[in-house]
Structure 1
Amino acid sequence: MSGMRRAPRLSHGPAAIVSSPWIVVGAGVLVMVVLLFMALGAYRGRSPAPDGAPVPPVLPLPTAAEVPSVPGPASSPPPVRPGLSGRASGLPPSASAGSRSPSGSASVRATGGGPVLTRSPSRAPQEPSAMTGRYRVVQSFDGGFIGEVAMTNRSGESRGWTVRLEFSGGRLVTAWVEGVPQGTLRQFGDGFTYVSGVDVRPGGSVSLRFHLERTSSTPRECTVDGVRCGGF
């Protein structure tokens, strides 16, 4: 029929793409989405480790103490000249610089064989007491006792003496010296002192006796010329 129109045929190839712009737009959008996902994947690969993930250990830097030291050449000793000897400049190597001698001060002197350490005593030893005394109970009875302080003169000359006794309360009845003239008795508080009437010859002995009531037979203090008695 000549009066009927034919429907247009769809074109293929580049002409079809140009004639359909939505295809181009869709392809461009798809490419952009792919590129965006690729960029996000690369960024996540560079992100720091999440919380709780193990952190690689950090190696410490070497310190000055750990750096090995290179030994240098040994210094040669100074030449020794004939006729000259070294002098000691301080303590010998065996003595420490801060050590002290308990008995006194120390000094160093140089000799031909080397330094010698000498010590000087800080004080002279104390001499023994000239008069020594020893306390004892001669007799005990109900309500009292008789005590004694026996003394010996250990010096080389005749000398007098003074005894001091102190008890916890009580009452002194009397005090006397055996076999020699009596001395002087003085009472105070809970005790008394007795001063000799005659001197004791070198190596001689003398005894002071006393009668006490209503107190313990052990004294709180017993001295002869300020030195503590023995025996209690």
Structure 2
Amino acid sequence: MTSSPWILVATGVVVMVVLLAVALGSVRGRSTFPAADPADPLMPLPHMPLIPTAVGATGPSSVSATAPVRPGLSPRSTVLPAAPTPAASTPNPRAVARPVLPPSPPPPVAPPSVVTGRYSVQSAFDGGFIGEVLLVNTARTHRGWTVRAAFPGGRLVTAWVEGAEQGVFRFDDGVFTYRSGFDLAPGQSLPVRFHIERAGTRPASCTVDGAPCAAW
């Protein structure tokens, strides 16, 4: 054997190769992962990739394995958010309801005068005429009266009452006014006459106690 040292070297190399093979086999047989604890749901099983999950309104749901998961970003949820409920309309406290005003009543109609008047022309001549308002008391009591007749541009010469106590008359801005000097008895009639110059025989207006004269 002393003459053949290479035999010893070869034998030692073979022994080392066998020992190395045995050591590699024992290392591969060992598990590099800790034993899974069935009571711990967070412990992953060996050789099983983790599947990311998304938490929705109804609970966790799995995300497709093909979707890339980026660090720092959460997986997209497939559950649509609930539509917001419209707020109920509330009345405006500053809005004040305006009351509806009733329509204005028509102006009261003046009652007809109980002393009526009828206008007529007694005589006409060059430059003037004599006019008359015949009064009649239709009431059952004594009544006073006022005659008004408008003659624009005219001039009053005089005025009088036939057969009775005289009253008070005037002529202002073409308007002739005669106020009674006494009250008419029930059913009594009385003519009021006046001399007018430089005016037409037909007056612009004629009233007795505010009521129009008849048939002038």
- State the TM-score, normalized to the length of structure 1: 0.45
Whose relative contact order is higher, 1 or 2, with alpha carbons under 8 Å and at least 6 apart?
Answer: 2
Structure whose CA Rg is larger: 2
